[in-house]
């Protein structure tokens, strides 16, 4: 078993913002392996986030972000449980980062259920026609369409998108990390993205 040094705990804290005791526990569990410890804390954060998922979120912030040059604008509402958390600099920065992410990635909705049915049908028809054109057998057409739709959701749904500041995580992971840090349930209630001329 590797010796868990104060320097290792400090490094893990810097990377994850987790508490000292949580970092120590994660490093022990991972046998001193930093990457495994990060994964351990992320999984623990996900479990915590799932426990809090049903709690009421009636506080929060509405943030506006105008991209340099004034050609793209975003208005986003992110909710938490208490006014105390909503007023922290960390929460404000988090909401601002989400608004910037939305400006950059142009999601069609927050989650898969938000994508209009006609958009989904149109995409499926296009992917099926493309697959037929390649001469693929009927048996595997559905799998091809399903795979392309999965990619479509990852590009079009806010919670499924890779986070622009850290492509190793999704925006859903980012929200779960924030839930772990604040101890409160956090939800993206709604957003509007404006682009000049659209």
Could you read off the pLDDT tens digit of each residue along the chain, which spans 198 residues?
A: 567 888 888 887 777 666 667 788 888 888 888 888 878 877 776 555 555 555 666 789 999 999 878 899 999 999 998 889 999 999 999 999 999 999 999 999 999 999 999 999 999 999 888 888 877 777 788 888 889 999 999 999 999 999 999 988 899 989 988 888 888 889 999 999 999 887
- The whole-number pLDDT of residue 45 equals 65
Residue 1 domain-assigned (yes or no)? no
Give residues with Cβ within 8 angstroms of 194, minimum separation 6. 72, 73, 74, 75
Question: What is d(CA 65, CA 72) in angstroms, rounded to the nearest whole number?
Answer: 8
- The whole-number pLDDT of residue 132 equals 83
Task: Give the range of the structural domain holding residue 18, as residue numbers without chain letter.
Answer: 6-52
Q: Which residue has the tokens 């992971």?
A: 173
pLDDT tens digit string along 121-153?
999 999 888 888 877 777 788 888 889 999 999
**Residues 88, 173 within the same domain:** yes
Burial (CB count <10 Å: 0-12, 13-18, 19+), residue 2 = exposed
- The whole-number pLDDT of residue 168 equals 87
Angle between the 20-29 and 6-16 helix axes, to the nearest 10 degrees?
A: 110
For the full predicted model, state whether its pTM sits above 0.75: no
- Domain of residue 37, CATH code: 1.10.8.10
In degrees, rounded to 5, the angle at the alpha carbon of residue 107 between the alpha carbons of residues 159 and 60 is 60
**Residues 101, 31 within the same domain:** no
- Domain of residue 78, CATH code: 3.30.479.20
Residue 145 domain-assigned (yes or no)? yes
Total number of domains in the chain: 3
**Residues 91, 175 within the same domain:** yes
**Residues 139, 161 within the same domain:** no
**Residues 104, 65 within the same domain:** yes
Q: How many Å separate Cα 62 from the centre of its chain?
A: 18
**Residues 66, 143 within the same domain:** no
**Residues 177, 91 within the same domain:** yes
Burial (CB count <10 Å: 0-12, 13-18, 19+), residue 148 = middle
- The whole-number pLDDT of residue 53 equals 58
**Residues 28, 93 within the same domain:** no
**Residues 36, 131 within the same domain:** no
């Amino acid at each position: 078993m590797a010796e868990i040094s104060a320097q290792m705990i400090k490094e893990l804290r810097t990377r994850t913002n987790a508490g000292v005791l949580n970092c120590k526990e994660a490093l022990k569990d991972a046998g001193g392996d930093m990457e495994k410890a990060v994964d351990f804390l992320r999984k623990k954060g996900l479990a915590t986030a799932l426990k809090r998922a049903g709690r009421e979120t009636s506080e929060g912030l509405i943030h506006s972000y105008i991209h340099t040059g004034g050609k793209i604008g975003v208005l986003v509402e992110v909710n938490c449980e208490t006014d105390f958390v909503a007023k922290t600099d960390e929460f404000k920065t988090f909401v601002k980062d989400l608004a910037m992410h939305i400006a950059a990635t142009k999601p069609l909705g927050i989650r898969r259920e938000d994508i209009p049915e006609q958009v989904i049908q149109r995409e499926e028809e296009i992917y099926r026609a493309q697959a037929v054109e390649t001469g693929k057998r009927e048996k595997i057409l559905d799998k091809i369409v399903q795979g392309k739709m999965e990619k479509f959701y990852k590009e079009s749904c806010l919670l499924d998108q890779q986070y622009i500041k850290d492509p190793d995580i999704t925006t859903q992971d980012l929200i779960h990390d924030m839930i772990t840090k604040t101890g409160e349930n956090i939800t993206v209630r709604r957003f509007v993205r404006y682009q000049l001329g659209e």
